[in-house]
């Protein structure tokens, strides 16, 4: 690795700066931000959406102050809970979802 050679003027300038400043100055202290800790999710899958739906999803997420993935997760959880599916019985078709052929 090449060694950088400093000019004498640079060394003097740095020495003058550190004669009047400290590493404990307020600007050198890190500013703590908000901490968000979420439980890691177990798995993921890809959902294809039309562009208008993606735009709506992003808009909803922004209005709620969260990311689009978190918004999609919240909406999906709400739909699952409204379908009253607990994993034990066979799920019943949701009345608000249009049945499509595959």
> What pLDDT does residue 89 have?
66
Please give the pLDDT value at position 28.
58
d(CA 72, CA 56): 11
Nearest to 94 by CA among 82, 102, 78: 82
Q: pLDDT tens digits for the chain (102 residues)?
A: 567 777 778 888 888 888 887 777 666 556 677 777 777 777 878 889 999 999 999 999 999 999 999 999 999 988 878 776 666 666 666 666 665 554
Residue written as tokens 């209005």?
A: 63
Write down the pLDDT at residue 17. Answer: 84
pLDDT for res 30? 65
d(CA 51, CA 70): 18
HSE on the CB side for 66, CA within 13 Å?
A: 13
Q: Where are the domains of the chain?
A: 49-85
Q: What is the pLDDT of residue 81?
A: 81
């Amino acid at each position: 690795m090449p060694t950088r050679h400093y000019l004498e003027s640079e060394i003097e300038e740095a020495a003058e700066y550190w004669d009047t400043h400290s590493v404990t100055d307020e600007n050198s202290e890190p500013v703590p931000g908000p901490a968000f800790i979420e439980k890691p999710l177990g798995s993921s899958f890809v959902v294809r959406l039309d562009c208008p739906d993606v735009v709506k999803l992003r808009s909803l997420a922004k209005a709620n102050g969260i990311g689009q993935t978190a918004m999609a997760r919240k909406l999906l959880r709400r739909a699952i809970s409204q379908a009253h599916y607990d994993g034990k019985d066979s799920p019943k078709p949701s009345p608000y979802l249009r049945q499509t052929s595959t």
